[in-house]
Amino acid sequence: MNATPRVLAVLDDILASAAPGERGALWHLAEQGRELDANVVRVPGGAEVGEHQEDVLDVLLVVLEGGGRVRTGDGEVELGASAVVWLPRTSRRGLAAGPDGITYLTVHRRRPGLAITVPSEASAYEGGEGPCMLDRVCPECGRLSEDPAPVFCSRCGERFPER
């Protein structure tokens, strides 16, 4: 792993090079050996990232352009350019873009990879297969949505295919 600090991206350049109608992940951190994940995501005007709950990771969200609101269990939080929002793990939240859309940077600890494990003898393994959830896997970043009918990915903002 290269432990030398370096500039990975310039946000102004990322935003300037994105096509006006481009949406979803405009950039993501892809360095080998990292312990963080970061994404620049654009959600078009009026679109939403469905309500969901992240049980494992705290997320820091920084609004780069546009605005919108985060729906929480306690109401709504208005977002404008340069707002910095902490989305604590276990909190329920949904994001709605304002009329001009919203572009934001998210940063969080890297999610551990999926692993196949053998159940311990102490657990009651009943066997069988879980229901197919491929329609809940984001086609852009591969994240499994907790929403049973997702519209936009909570990680990268990509729209799920129509059912």
- pLDDT tens for 42-98 read 999 989 888 888 888 899 999 999 999 999 888 999 999 999 999 998 888 899 999
- pLDDT tens for 101-125 read 999 999 998 876 555 555 555 444 4
3-state secondary structure 96-151: EEEEEEEEEEEEEECCCCCCCCCCCCCCCCCCCCCCCCHHHECCCCCCECCCCCCC
Please give the CATH topology (third level) of the domain spanning 11-111: Jelly Rolls (2.60.120)
85: closest CA among 100, 99, 64, 101? 64
Helix H or strand E segment including 82: none
The answer to whether the predicted template modeling score (pTM) of the entire model surpasses 0.85 is no
